[in-house]
Amino acid sequence: MESNLKINIIGGGIIGCIQAIELNKLGHQVTIYEKDTIGSGSSIYGAGILFPLLPNYYSSEVFDLIDNSKKYYLELSDILNSQFDIDIEYLRSGMTVILDDLRDIEFWLRENKLSFSREKFRSFNAITIDDVYQINPKKLILGLKKYLDYLGVQILEYNLISTDLKNNFIDINGKKIPGDKFILASGAWTRDLDHDMRDKIFPVRGQLIEYKNTNHIQLDHILYKDGFYLLQRKNGALIAGSTLENVGFDDNLTDQDLELLKKNAEKIIPELSELEVINHWCGFRPGSKDNIPIIVQDKKIKEKFYNVGHYRYGISMAPASVNKLISLF
């Protein structure tokens, strides 16, 4: 593979950041162009569960990308801790799935040789999957930013990229960007930058809330029930979510939205109703068909690549997706 190429990455979410780190390690000269700030698309708004919520619902392609990313986070967590004193809260929390009928998920777990135990959660039918990890996305982005600076990757924030009629990439100052390769890691906004992606990538709004944990509720595992989940950060904060909404890029959150999230969280742990909700936010996932990301080289413009459409599991799939893209060079 050639080295010392000038590679431009458009989008500084989790995909763009890890892509930049891995290309820098291969000896390339990498620049990230970000229209806002690093991580401010979908990536800092995620819950940080590194596993599919109902794994048997997805194709093996999705699970393989998640599974092949696991080791990377362990190593990254060590690097960010030891070199930059940032704890990304990489925890083996396990996940308890509450379901009336557990047969399909049990079958899938056996097929994939993943260990689990069948145990009731309170009065609910449930299984706990052991090998499920979580991280804190805000801290992850903070750590990645430091790591990128340390490696000397150029980060150009507040730099909205567009294209001209000849398909050149143009920066915020109207200048044509020089480079050997261009990687679109532009999340849900890819459809604005690239007409070919108009029908393939779409924003899916997701909302989360944070409860102030004054009652010191302790979760043993991530909890999942009826499409909603609860998890705990290292400082005890309880995070509940999430919604799946096709509302474009509308970021207005209403009292009804809040009530929906609270109702579903409190169906799992009723005592949460005694706690105050201190944060309520949303992010725009890069939706794609069947949650399968598009990691390809453009058919017509050979220097253009896509690493987009990671939908619900972009944090979980990022490292393996980045490697898959590099294998196309």
Ligand X SMILES: Cc1cc2nc3c(=O)[nH]c(=O)nc-3n(C[C@H](O)[C@H](O)[C@H](O)COP(=O)(O)OP(=O)(O)OC[C@H]3O[C@@H](n4cnc5c(N)ncnc54)[C@H](O)[C@@H]3O)c2cc1C
What residues make contact with ligand X under the rule CB under 6 A? 10-16, 33-36, 40-43, 45-49, 160-161, 185-189, 193, 206, 208, 241-242, 283, 285-286, 308, 310-316
**276-281: long-range contacts at Cβ-Cβ below 8 A with a sequence spacing of 24 or more?**
276/211, 276/212, 276/214, 277/209, 277/210, 277/211, 277/212, 278/210, 278/211, 278/212, 279/208, 279/209, 279/210, 280/207, 280/208, 280/209, 280/210, 280/253, 281/45, 281/207, 281/208, 281/253
CB of 293 to ligand X, least distance (A): 8
Q: Among residues 167 and 214, whose Cβ is nearest to ligand X?
A: 167
CB of 1 to ligand X, least distance (A): 23
C-alpha span between 229 and 95 (Å, rounded): 10
Dihedral sign for Cα atoms in the order 271, 243, 259, 282? positive
Residue 166: both structure tokens together: 């000849």
Pairing of strands 304-308, 294-297: antiparallel
Q: Among residues 94 and 314, whose Cβ is nearest to ligand X?
A: 314
Amino acid type, 239: I
Q: Among residues 109 and 317, whose Cβ is nearest to ligand X?
A: 317
Which residues lie closer than 8 Å to 97 by C-beta, 6 or more apart? 53, 54, 105, 126, 127, 128, 129, 224, 225
Q: Among residues 128 and 136, whose Cβ is nearest to ligand X?
A: 136
**Which residue, among 156, 56, 34, has the nearest Cα to 111 in the 3D structure?**
56
Residue 274: both structure tokens together: 């005694």
CB of 303 to ligand X, least distance (A): 17
C-alpha span between 96 and 268 (Å, rounded): 11
Q: Among residues 61 and 274, whose Cβ is nearest to ligand X?
A: 61
CB of 256 to ligand X, least distance (A): 17
Q: Among residues 109 and 222, whose Cβ is nearest to ligand X?
A: 222
CB of 182 to ligand X, least distance (A): 11
Q: Among residues 121 and 189, whose Cβ is nearest to ligand X?
A: 189
CB of 2 to ligand X, least distance (A): 25
CB of 227 to ligand X, least distance (A): 13
CB of 135 to ligand X, least distance (A): 9
CB of 145 to ligand X, least distance (A): 12
Which residues lie closer than 8 Å to 149 by C-beta, 6 or more apart? 155
Q: Among residues 123 and 254, whose Cβ is nearest to ligand X?
A: 254
Q: Among residues 136 and 213, whose Cβ is nearest to ligand X?
A: 136
